[in-house]
Amino acid sequence: MTERKITNRCRKLKELEEQQKELERQIDALKAEIKADMERKDLQEQKVGDYMVRFTDVLTSRFDTKGFRQEHERLYSQYVRQVSTKRFSVA
């Protein structure tokens, strides 16, 4: 691929990323409006038209890696492993 083609693709990529950010902002704003309305109405679930909207509490369990590492450093070091990945970026 020529340098010009790569430059054009990078430019297009940056434009699309900006559009994606704007869409994500709009999505987040719409979600916030719906959540605020449901909280105001004290609803966790609501049927609206063809959609079922849920805004519920979810309890999850997560492993406290930092705490485990502090309390059991030798055991932690036996199981930690490094992973190699590739990162792509255009600056």
Predicted pLDDT at 76 = 96
pLDDT digits 0-9 by tens, 34-61? 999 999 999 999 999 999 999 999 999 9
CB 69 within 8 A of CB 76: yes
pLDDT digits 0-9 by tens, 60-73? 999 999 999 999 99
Q: What length does the chain have? A: 91
What is the maximal distance between C-alpha atoms in the chain? 58
Q: What is the number of H-type helices and E-type strands within the chain?
A: 3, 2
Alpha-carbon torsion (79, 82, 83, 87), positive or negative: positive
For 32, what's the count of Cα atoms within 13 Å in the CB-facing half-sphere? 6
